[in-house]
Amino acid sequence: MNTFGARRPILGIKFDKKDIMAKVIREHNRGFVVYNNTESIIPALKEMHNLWQKGKFESHFDLGELKEYSWDILAENLKKTIEKVIFSN
């Protein structure tokens, strides 16, 4: 299981242009990213609902497994970072 383990489209609501998760969602075509306002959220929800009704989630989004975000890989990266901080003194 990974952080994208549900394999369902994501509605990412971003705060500003530098939002890291917005970039990840777009890079991996995992869903829509919108600003936190009704003018952006409502059309995105309607589009997601239309895709769902038509059974087109799988063809519109890439919902496959992302190994680089698996818990094993994330844990190993965290371990390496902690070791680097501890042993760099």
DSSP state, 67? G
* pLDDT reported for residue 2: 46
Cα–Cα distance between 42 and 1 in angstroms, integer? Answer: 30
How large is the C-alpha radius of gyration of the chain? Answer: 17
What pTM was computed for the model? 0.71
Structure tokens at 66: 């992302």
Q: In which element (H, E) is residue 84 found?
A: helix 71-87
Cα–Cα distance between 41 and 49 in angstroms, integer? Answer: 12
* pLDDT reported for residue 7: 80
The pLDDT tens digits along the chain (89 residues) read 444 777 889 999 998 888 888 998 999 999 999 999 999 999 999 999 999 999 998 899 988 888 887 888 889 999 999 999 998 86
* pLDDT reported for residue 63: 86
* pLDDT reported for residue 1: 41
Sorted by where each begins, the domain ranges of the chain are: 10-87
* pLDDT reported for residue 89: 64
Residue 37 CA, chain-centre distance (Å), reads: 19
